[in-house]
DNA sequence: GATGAATGAGACTTCATTCAT
DNA sequence: AATGAATGAAGTCTCATTCAT
């Protein structure tokens, strides 16, 4: 009696299957890491708990990430990339700068509320990601730089169009914006009690933009 | 003939001497701790290094602070208290809200530049000071609450006077302000390159206040 | 106005006065040490607490005892000497061996109940006094040997007189006796609930002596 | 043709294999701990030395025992359980109380001589096992209580049968017995020089039982 | 002589990382 | 590839002892 193998997959298919499985595994670990890092902070998070939460063994984590620091960096990078792609998408839309800024705020705050990730985790050293760590990682460095450039471009456009105060150095505007968008900023913003991401975005926008400028999102 | 006793240090003098020495020692340790915490973050800072930096033995640290956490809390408290006293002083002055806000910004940024302390270290969890830690310390908790109340009062006044947008919930304004004043915010602000604390304060103020509102500090 | 010094003591008087004060101090420390050692055991007892309990400074302890171990040894020695002198006194009395044994039991148990000391602390390693420690101290060694010799002599006499089983090697009888008289034995004996030292002594004697042998203490 | 899978270890076999290895490891550590605790006492024993003696790394100890105290408690429990099972076995035999007591003594002294363990380590606080420690451990507490109950039952039976003096409160007899069987008692008994466990058991029995009572072990 | 601040060796314990199975 | 037992560096904290005042 012969065994009927389910149609010999081409080696390339096999590889891509394995590849896919591997990536799924990595994503699973990253998700677990995100949870634990968020709950406990980088130092109090243990590889043991991350592995347990991902349903795998401790050693397996190291098949995907070379070290705990690497895991953090990968996580941060993932988030930056996600942020970057959203920004790239929004930035091309035919809206006022203010409207686009508000879209970004809304996206960030919504994701934060969903606890699904803490965007821009990395622009901020909340978890203990020291500058030296970032500097060692060229990729990460590059992604962060790109994100900052996008934001800079957007806000510069706002200054040129008069939506933003052009007497303030752009980098300062950028810094302010980033601060408002970072997790620690978000946490503080939450002090005001239950407030929806949309409201939060609108209010922050109102603070950020000259109060007499054009209206936005809400009432367009 | 009477013997002139050698100045018979009054017991109160003696006590205050020892007391003073003790406080100096504690201050020395706090300064070293500040340095190391700032350089390495709370977790990567070791008591060993703090002691070495202070020029004392490891055990001596524990004569003054019961634990590493205690050391951090004391440091944070010291800074909050300093911040609080400055705010209390400035808040009573007969100036516009904007002018007073700028004074505060100036003070904070100046001290940060001098590396002498990182004010509001605590309102932010940069170093890993978890919320649970703060909650255990009633004193610290109280001081933070007070500081927030002062800021809230000031900004509320600004909203009533029309200097600040009164349609934004005050807690949100407070959160934004605190974010801009916290170390992580400061670090970002520095991205714009060499800029003096005074300029920084002015620019941040310009962002924070409606651009068409009354002038301030600069040109009064 | 002249001060009237209280009659220049002769240097010898002075010396003996100082000597006496010194000894009092030492006794004070020993008493405190006894308390703390008993409450916490040797290792969990801290010099700090002993000094505090004696109402002196930590450093002062070291003016009287070279080390923590020394303090323990001195304490033990003090107790052995006290035990020895009591035994020497009782051993010469014209009583049956059993009666004298009961006197010793009574004395030991009474003192234990009074918590004032834990006689024979040292024949037993309850506190963690290791054999090696004892061996280093010739004096202590000698005192313990003497005490054992006195007990041995007494029990040998009992074996000769027929009060004790002469077919049992004397050292074994001695060991049994010492065990019953040591603190750990005493603690176990207390399990039986509230019982007076006198009762305890009588019962232990009854166990120790052949039940059909001559009567004793109790019943004349 | 069928493939003979390599013995397809049933999951239960696998588990029991790991389980067995784990237990062996734990036993190895306990043995090393026993040695070191015995040589140095609880406080002067270091985890470092225990690990070295077991031929493993320090951290490995903590994979099996949560703390140094836990290690001690486990050791003590192991011994109590062994003692208990032996007593349970012997207690049912159709022998005189005296014969059974002698069996117990013989067993205990033999094991002590073999240095393999120090039975009843725990009924005695030789190592510094404080009462408070025992009280925290319900299991240990329960085992000790059981052991005491067995001994109590046995000696009560002896009192009823006339082998033991019924005028002495049973708890006192129990205490005396336990004292003679505990490590510190054993050590003292050894003072009499080289003596076999059997002789020791016989002599102690002779002391413990009324000298005119029935003969025993020896001459059956 | 008395003090108690300072010292620093050393203890326990954690946990990222490795590697034999 | 996956596992998880083992490792051992490193950290926090204690406390006996010293010594300048």
Chains interfacing with D (3 or more CB pairs < 8 Å): C
Does residue C120 surpass a pLDDT of 60?
no
Poorest-pLDDT segment among B2-11, C42-51, D62-71, D185-194: B2-11
Distance C27 CA to E11 C1' (A): 32
Subunit contact D206:C169, Cβ cutoff 8 A: no
Poorest-pLDDT segment among A107-116, A117-126, C56-65, C181-190: A117-126
Verify that D101 and D55 share a domain, yes or no: no
- Nearest nucleotide by C1' from B26 CA? E5
Alpha helices, DSSP H only, in C41-121? 47-54, 58-64, 68-91, 97-113
Subunit contact B204:A172, Cβ cutoff 8 A: yes
**Contact in structure between A104 and A168 (CB atoms under 8 Å):** no
Verify that D18 and D89 share a domain, yes or no: no
Q: Give me the number of domains chain C comprises.
A: 2
Does residue A97 surpass a pLDDT of 50?
yes
CATH number at residue D49: 1.10.10.60
For residue A70, how far is the Cα from the chain centroid? 16
- pLDDT band for position B219 (50/70/90)? very low
Other C-beta atoms lying within 10 Å of the C-beta of residue D61: 24
Name the residue closest to F6, CA to C1': D60
Verify that B175 and B113 share a domain, yes or no: yes
**Contact in structure between C41 and D130 (CB atoms under 8 Å):** yes
- Nearest nucleotide by C1' from B48 CA? F11
Segment B97-124, tens digit of pLDDT = 999 999 999 988 888 877 655 544 444 4
Segment A133-150, tens digit of pLDDT = 777 788 888 988 899 899
User: Hey, what are D1's tokens?
Assistant: 């043709």
Q: Is C210 in CB contact (< 8 Å) with chain D?
A: yes
In this predicted model, which residue has the larger pLDDT, C122 or A95? A95
Chain A 148-177, CB below 8 Å of chain B: which residues? 148, 165, 167-169, 171-176
Single out the residue of B166, B143, B146 nearest to residue B155, CA to CA.
B166
Nucleotides of chain F in contact with protein CB (under 7 A) are 1-20
> What is the b/e burial string over A53-66, where b = at least 16 CB atoms within 10 angstroms of the residue's CB?
bbebeeeebeebbe
Three-state DSSP state, B4: coil
Q: Among the three residues A65, A83, A116, which one is the final residue of a domain in this structure?
A: A65
Single out the residue of B148, B208, B205 nearest to residue B176, CA to CA.
B208
Chains interfacing with B (3 or more CB pairs < 8 Å): A
Q: Among the three residues D35, D65, D95, which one is the final residue of a domain in this structure?
A: D65
CATH number at residue D147: 1.10.357.10
Verify that D100 and D194 share a domain, yes or no: yes
Verify that A57 and A97 share a domain, yes or no: no
Verify that C165 and C102 share a domain, yes or no: yes
Segment B111-158, tens digit of pLDDT = 887 765 554 444 444 445 566 777 788 888 898 889 989 999 999 999
Q: Assign 3-state DSSP to chain D and report helix, strand, coil percentages, each to 5.
A: 70, 0, 30
Does residue D60 surpass a pLDDT of 50?
yes
Placement of tokens 């089983």 in the chain = C165
In this predicted model, which residue has the larger pLDDT, D73 or B199? D73
User: Which residue in C207, C210, C218 has the most chain D C-beta atoms within 10 A of its own C-beta, making it the best mutation to test that interface?
Assistant: C207
Poorest-pLDDT segment among A164-168, B200-204, B215-219: B215-219
Subunit contact C130:D165, Cβ cutoff 8 A: no
Which H/E stretch holds residue D36? helix D11-44
- Nearest nucleotide by C1' from B42 CA? F11
Distance A59 CA to E17 C1' (A): 9
> What is the b/e burial string over C152-177, where b = at least 16 CB atoms within 10 angstroms of the residue's CB?
eebbbebbeeebbbeebbbbbbbbbb
Distance C27 CA to F9 C1' (A): 47
Distance A166 CA to F3 C1' (A): 59
What range defines the domain where residue A52 resides? 1-65
Poorest-pLDDT segment among A155-169, A205-219, B150-164, C98-112: A205-219
Verify that D121 and D144 share a domain, yes or no: yes
Three-state DSSP state, D142: helix
Chain D 6..35 CB hits on strand F (< 7 A):
18, 21-22, 25
What DSSP designation does C4 have? -
Q: Among the three residues C21, C36, C65, which one is the final residue of a domain in this structure?
A: C65
Verify that D211 and D102 share a domain, yes or no: yes
Verify that B82 and B98 share a domain, yes or no: yes
Verify that D111 and D157 share a domain, yes or no: yes
Phi, psi dihedrals of residue D113, rounded to the nearest 5°: -65, -35
* pLDDT value of position C128: 52
**Contact in structure between C216 and C96 (CB atoms under 8 Å):** yes
Q: Which member of D172, D174, D203 has the closest CB to residue C168? A: D203
Tell me which range, A70-74, C123-127, D190-194, is most confidently predicted by mean pLDDT.
Answer: A70-74
User: What's the gap in Å between the CA of A207 and the closest CA on chain B?
Assistant: 7
- pLDDT band for position C62 (50/70/90)? very high
Cα B39 from Cα A128, distance rounded (Å)? 11
How much is the average pLDDT of C125-150? 76
Residue D78 CB contacts under 8 Å (≥ 6 apart), including other chains: D30, D117
Verify that B59 and B82 share a domain, yes or no: no
Residue A195 CB contacts under 8 Å (≥ 6 apart), including other chains: A189, A203, B169, B172
Q: Which residues of A touch B43 (CB under 8 A)?
A: 42-43, 128
Distance D58 CA to E13 C1' (A): 10
Q: Is B185 in CB contact (< 8 Å) with chain A?
A: yes
Verify that A4 and A72 share a domain, yes or no: no
Q: Which member of D41, D172, D203 has the closest CB to residue C172? A: D203
Subunit contact A208:B203, Cβ cutoff 8 A: no
* Biggest CA pair distance of chain C: 83
């Amino acid at each position: 009696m012969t065994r009927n193998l389910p149609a010999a997959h081409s080696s390339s298919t096999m590889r891509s299957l394995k590849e896919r499985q591997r990536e799924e595994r990595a994503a699973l670990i990253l998700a677990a890491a995100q949870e634990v890092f968020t709950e406990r902070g980088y130092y109090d998070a243990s590889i043991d708990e991350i592995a347990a939460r991902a349903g795998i063994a401790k050693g397996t984590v190291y098949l995907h990430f070379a070290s705990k620091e690497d895991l953090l960096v990968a996580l941060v990078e993932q988030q930056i990339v996600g942020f970057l792609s959203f920004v790239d998408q929004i930035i091309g839309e035919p809206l006022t700068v203010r409207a686009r800024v508000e879209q970004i705020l809304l996206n960030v705050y919504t994701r934060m509320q969903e606890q699904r990730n803490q965007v821009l985790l990395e622009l901020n050293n909340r978890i203990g990601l020291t500058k030296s760590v970032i500097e060692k990682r060229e990729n990460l460095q590059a992604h962060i730089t790109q994100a900052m450039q996008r934001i800079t471009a957007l806000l510069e456009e706002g200054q040129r169009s008069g939506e933003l105060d052009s007497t303030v150095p752009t980098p300062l505007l950028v810094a302010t914006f980033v601060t408002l968008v970072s997790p620690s900023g978000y946490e503080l913003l939450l002090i005001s009690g239950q407030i929806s991401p949309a409201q939060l975005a609108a209010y922050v926008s109102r603070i950020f933009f000259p109060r007499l400028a054009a209206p936005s999102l809400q009432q367009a």
